[in-house]
Amino acid sequence: MKAKILASLKRLSIEEYMIYVKSYKSTQMFFVKKSLDCKRAENTQIYNVNVFRSFEKDGKKMKGNSSVFVYDGMTDEEIDATLSRAYLAASFVCNPTYEAMECTENKFLTMESDLFDYTLEKCCEKISQALFAEDNREDAFINSAEVFAYEVGVEIISSTGIDSGYIKRTVSGEFVAQCKEPQDVETYKDFRYNNLDCESLKSKVRKTLEYTLERAKATEAPKAGKYRVIISDSYVGNVFSYYSERAQAGYIYAGYSTFEVGQNVQALDAEGKVAGIKGDKISMTLVPTEPLSGEGIWQRDLELLDNGVLKTYYGGLRFSRYLGIEPTGFFGCVNVAPGTMSVEDMKKEPYLWVVNFSDFQMDDFTGHFGGEIRLAFLYDGEEVRPVTGGSINGSIIDSQTTMHFSKEIQRSADFVGPYAMCFEDVPVAGA
């Protein structure tokens, strides 16, 4: 099929293009309680062709692009028609021109992971065993689960001579924990790892079962007011995305972000003035989860923040060209250095520790974060009790100079960093 696509591009005189070939294998297991209900496998391959067209409009040089899928079994005539329509569509996309991605080095890599030590089916089995290892309580249990093991192969071919690729494996899944007494409640969780991180999954299951039991006991919402709020688990990574997203070249070029390289972006207040940081300072590194971006950019770890100071911008080809910076691609994992406080230290003063939201949102444009409280623990200085209902409405801009991060860390495919973080005086809507 690659040869047929290349021949079609030549017949149509399309000079600039990028072909993205993705092969996809998976084993999938579905459970009802601990019983395997269904098992299936998948083996597919897709071809995505991105064609570029240079032209002038109002005396200015432009470059448009259009992306289409080409499928096995298509005839030469069908491929020609598909690519011809894409090339026509590209003429209506009026982006200022920019240079294509040059070929720097052609190679094919297999990403390091202990998942390659086993078949995909065996990887599923091992993750399933870890998933149910902590499911041994009588008061809470896993009522259903799905486990997936993937192998993805990528090859990128371009008109500039790029012909590179990689193979990687991941495991992922989701499960629902249930507790029937004193009220029937369920908790949904998902997971994704680039290695057989069985211990992290066991910890997630154990905590989810405990929290589901506490949710069944919770009947009251916290009173409305301002609280010292602690959040943990995946919600921490969501908050840190404020900084990684606003450092993107696309945000900078469009004026959505005012971040500047060399600026202490953690110390800025709502008016853009610099304030002193009294809490923990953010040191952040972006880590690629694929070695090669979809635009043919070889990726490497990128230091983004050093104690709150922005070290660089990053992004895809087009906006990086516009800003005159090196294209880096996009990164699937954020790595944040741990903080100075343990979780137990955070809990020494009164707090509202939200462990589960119905839906948590981090607005990268405004800096607001929050969501409806599904389960939280409220400590008033004397006792701890579970609460449910109400919502938090915080602002990273108001909180960033005083927030603290835990010494304890968490690991997943997309975030490695503090397990918990603490904010002062966060507004809470409640009873």
Could you tell me the residue ranges of all domains in the chain? 2-213, 219-431
How much of the chain exceeds pLDDT 70, in percent? 99
The pLDDT value recorded for residue 178 is 97
pLDDT tens-place string over residues 391-400? 999 999 999 9
Neighbours of 269 (CB within 10 A): 12
pLDDT at residue 223 tops 80: yes
* Contact between 206 and 413 (Cβ < 8 Å): no
Task: For residues 410-426, give the mean pLDDT.
Answer: 96
95 Cβ contact partners less than 8 Å away, ≥ 6 residues apart: 62, 63, 64, 65, 318
Of 275, 277, 248, 242, the C-alpha closest to 261 is 248
In this predicted model, what pLDDT tens digit does every residue of 241-269 receive, in sequence order? 999 999 999 999 999 999 999 999 999 77
Mean confidence (pLDDT) of the chain: 96
Confidence band of 348 (pLDDT split at 50, 70, 90): very high
Q: Are 388 and 216 in contact (CB under 8 A)?
A: no
Predicted local confidence at residue 42, as pLDDT: 95
**Residue pLDDT, tens place only, 111-166:** 999 999 999 999 999 999 999 999 999 999 999 999 999 999 999 999 999 999 99
pLDDT beyond 80 at 271: no
**Cα(131)–Cα(201) distance, integer angstroms:** 6
Strand pairing of 284-287 and 225-232? Answer: unpaired
Average pLDDT on 191-200 reads 95
Q: What Å distances lie between residue 84 and 20, 54, 159, 368, CA to CA?
A: 18, 15, 17, 45
The model's confidence at residue 312, banded by pLDDT at 50, 70 and 90, is: very high
Which helix (H) or strand (E) covers residue 65, if one does?
strand 60-70
For residue 275, what pLDDT band results from cuts at 50, 70 and 90?
confident
Q: How confident is the model at residue 276 (pLDDT cuts 50, 70, 90)?
A: confident
CATH number 3.30.2290.10 is the correct assignment for the domain at 2-213: yes
270: pLDDT strictly greater than 90: no
Of all helices (H) and strands (E), which one includes residue 214?
Answer: helix 198-217
Tell me if 62 sits within 8 A of 88, measured CB to CB. no
pTM of the model: 0.92
- State yes or no: pLDDT of 272 exceeds 70: no
Q: With a cut of 70, say whether residue 60 has pLDDT above it.
A: yes
Distance CA 424, CA 273 (A): 20
Q: Which residue has the tokens 């995505």?
A: 48
